[in-house]
Structure 1
Amino acid sequence: MVASGWEWLRGKKPLVDAFFALPILLIAVPSVLGGSYGITAQRYVLLTVLLTGPLVLRRTYPRTVLAVVALVSFVQCLAGVPPVQANIAVLMGIYTVAAGPSFRWGLSAALVGVVGAGLATWRYPTEPDGRKGTFIMLTVLAAGVYVLGLHMRTRRAYLRSVEERAERLERERDNEVKVAMAAERARIARELHDVVAHNVSVIVVQADGASYAIDTDVNRARQALDTISSTGRMALAEMRRLLGVLREDDDAGTYAPQPGVAEIDDLVEQVRASGLAVAYEVHGTPAAMSEGRQLTVFRIVQEALTNTLKHGGPRVRVSVRLRYAGDALEIRVEDDGRGAAAFDDGRGHGLAGMRERVTVYGGDVRAAPRPGGGFEVVARIPVREEVAA
């Protein structure tokens, strides 16, 4: 509420300026009542109003207000009217112009103060030895007001720069949040593609097998249906886990760990159960890898096997080889299916997802038809961060 009230006052400049001009009028009251002003009461009141009245628009029209009060003071000086308390309005006008955005106009206001000090010293002489001191005192007073306005101008400019910087940082933070959200959505989209494409491919293959075997081999049909059921449950569980991160205000539960290299055995067995002949080999000593790298390895193998199921054709055979060679892991998935002759609808994201995953860890991947037929996916992933660097 205090902040809103201050914002309201900042939009009412004349009202605030009138409040700050009010003390000048209050100071002038004792002189009017005591008759110690040296001129008639009417002229004193008129002069006070002419000097303080423009101050209501001091910040709205600063240069015009300074010109008006300086002109009134100049006429007062020529007419020989003694100085009054309201002549402080000249100093207030100098301060307002000096605190404005223009340095040249502020310097001009300071010169107006110096000229006014000279005129006052000339028009209202004191003792000969005191004129110099009076001029110096008035000049120092005008210069001090100018310096105060200049300091306020600098401070306001600094505060504006701080506010602009804070707003810019806030916009940058919002943009970073949006970019992070977009990257997270892209990651979840890749995860969902891997999960859905693989499991649905297995379900389709098993459903086709069950439909052919239901009349001739009931046991095989039943086994295929069991595989469809377990695969569907697994796909549903993974989809719930991945989509769970998109729920707001969901504090309950922990998510299952992401699959890694150890789960490739289960993946191969699942694909074998769908009727695809898979050979799985591991060469070298397995190296310790981060969970993100292990997930990347698993998804590459999963996507490659899914592509073989979808595009390899009947009686296709596929081999999966992991070779740990020093600081890198080589993944090679080869099949003897249709290869370049396979149909592509152009709407797949699996290969692009593999490239993105491998690039994150400084590796490379190649996916292309084999010269002698079939398709191969070869990826190389550094097992440590310093190797990628």
Structure 2
Amino acid sequence: MTEAAPGRVARLLGFVRRWGLRLPPVVRDLLLPALLLLHILTTGAPPRELLVGVALTAGLALPLLWRRRAPRAVFGAVAAAAFVQWLMDVQLPADVALLVALYTVAASSGRRATLVAGAVAEGGALLACLRWTTEGAFLAPFVAVTATVVAAAVLGVNVRTTRAYLAALEERAARLEQQQDQQARLAVTEERTRITREMHDIVTHNLSVMVALTDAAVYAQHRSPDKATTAMLRISETGRQALTDMRRSLGILRTDEPDGERHPLPGIAQLAALAGQMCAAGLPTRVEVEGGHTHLPATAQLTVYRLVQEALTNTLKHTPAGTRARVRIRCSTETVTVDVTDTGPCPPRPGAAPSGHGIPGMRERSAAYGGTLRSGPLPGGGWGVHTRLFLDSGGTASA
């Protein structure tokens, strides 16, 4: 029976604590003054002593109702009431209110306020022990009361430290969430830019080729029906290629899209087919590749392909018949140099205007590898596009 008693007491205290936490703060603050006043009313003291006890208990306990709003002012009021009680030489259980007020100051104020409040409470403990302890029994009660004062102050400081730590964690979590949201928005913006650039390159190139082939078919339909048929077949093939390229680019965004696996992204090896397509559209194109390119990353090869594709598309759209184009790719372990030249007229072309998506998109692709794109007329006539991609992504555009 004796061994089971501590367990029952612990369970009872746990139940009381959980029940108390469910109550509103105002109700919890009201419980202690109500209990102290109820205790003094049930002592059965004479009327005069009862009146004094009730007045002093009210002065000690009732200010605790405002301890969360003004902890230091409440501590001052409770300390003043305790001093009046000491002057009147009245001992009351309500002295515990001074410890509660000290705890509140330590839990909500800084170190200086806590030290001042603790010193005041310790002074009160000293005065109380000097007046109310029996002769020869001063030390033990004073040590016990001092330990109680220190415990109340330390408990309040620990609560304040814990609150500050939790607040710092919440602020850090909110800041990390905000940073994640910003990174997600940046990623979405970058992805939209990438898709826009890819769609521009695919649609502009293939439509330009289809328009050129359509003009050729219309021109040859009466004089050479066979050539017109061949041109129409190439138009159909170009359209299907455009659809495949679009599915390939959009398939990167979808895990259930099989075209990205069946049709790998184009690279330097596909430049020969691109040149053949341009030749069929009326722009004789020659491709020269120096150095091995099999070691190049797929993304770098795609960048080279798109740069060449856009440059040839601009040449096809903005140069007269008879223009020739030359593509020269020089590959090394660290860089890839891209030169696209043609024999067209030298004045500025509409396709090179900054307001379009072509040249800005080419500059963005080049800048992603540390390169700087140059586009303009050549000294000996014609137009040229030049850039150098740095595969280590740490070089500078010195090309």
Q: TM-score, normalised by structure 1?
A: 0.85
Q: Which amino acid aligns with 2:137?
A: G
CA contact (8 A) 2:74 2:101 kept: yes
Aligned partner of 2:215 in structure 1 is: 208
Q: Which amino acid aligns with 2:115?
A: L
Structure 2 counterparts to residues 270-309 of structure 1, below 5 A: 270-309=277-316
CA contact (8 A) 1:276 1:316 kept: yes
Q: Which amino acid aligns with 1:190?
A: R
Alpha-carbon displacement from aligned partner over 1:352-385 (angstroms, at most 9, x marks no partner):
3223223323344432211121111223234566
CA contact (8 A) 1:17 1:59 kept: no
CA contact (8 A) 2:369 2:390 kept: yes
Aligned partner of 1:374 in structure 2 is: 382
Aligned partner of 2:13 in structure 1 is: none
Match of 2:101 among 93, 98, 119: 93
| CA distance, structure 1, for counterparts of residue 87 and residue 285 of structure 2 | 110
Match of 2:257 among 253, 257, 261: 253
CA 1:153–1:116: 2 relative to 1, 3 Å: same
User: CA shift at 1:240, angstroms?
Assistant: 3.9
Structure 2 counterparts to residues 103-118 of structure 1, below 5 A: 103-118=111-126
In structure 2, stretches of 5+ residues that fail to align are 1-19
Tell me, what secondary structure is at the counterpart of 2:207? helix
User: CA shift at 1:217, angstroms?
Assistant: 2.5
| CA distance, structure 2, for counterparts of residue 103 and residue 360 of structure 1 | 54
User: CA shift at 1:306, angstroms?
Assistant: 0.8
The more displaced of 340-349 and 92-101 is 340-349
| CA distance, structure 2, for counterparts of residue 37 and residue 25 of structure 1 | 21
CA contact (8 A) 1:260 1:291 kept: yes
Q: Does 1:176 align with 2:180?
A: no
| CA distance, structure 2, for counterparts of residue 147 and residue 158 of structure 1 | 16
Structure 2 counterparts to residues 291-370 of structure 1, below 5 A: 291-325=298-332, 327-344=334-351, 345-370=353-378
| CA distance, structure 2, for counterparts of residue 234 and residue 38 of structure 1 | 105
Tell me, what secondary structure is at the counterpart of 1:130? coil
User: CA shift at 1:30, angstroms?
Assistant: 6.2
| CA distance, structure 1, for counterparts of residue 309 and residue 386 of structure 2 | 13
Structure having greater relative contact order (Cα 8 Å, sep ≥ 6): 1
| CA distance, structure 1, for counterparts of residue 59 and residue 46 of structure 2 | 16
Aligned partner of 2:155 in structure 1 is: 148
Q: Does 1:55 align with 2:59?
A: no
| CA distance, structure 2, for counterparts of residue 173 and residue 37 of structure 1 | 70
CA contact (8 A) 2:59 2:81 kept: yes
Aligned partner of 1:3 in structure 2 is: none
Match of 2:31 among 22, 26, 29: 22
Q: Does 1:187 align with 2:197?
A: no
| CA distance, structure 1, for counterparts of residue 33 and residue 176 of structure 2 | 44
CA contact (8 A) 1:209 1:224 kept: yes
CA contact (8 A) 1:287 1:324 kept: no
The more displaced of 36-45 and 93-102 is 36-45
Q: TM-score, normalised by structure 2?
A: 0.83
CA contact (8 A) 1:340 1:373 kept: no
Q: Aligned pair count?
A: 374
CA contact (8 A) 1:264 1:298 kept: yes
Q: Which amino acid aligns with 1:206?
A: L
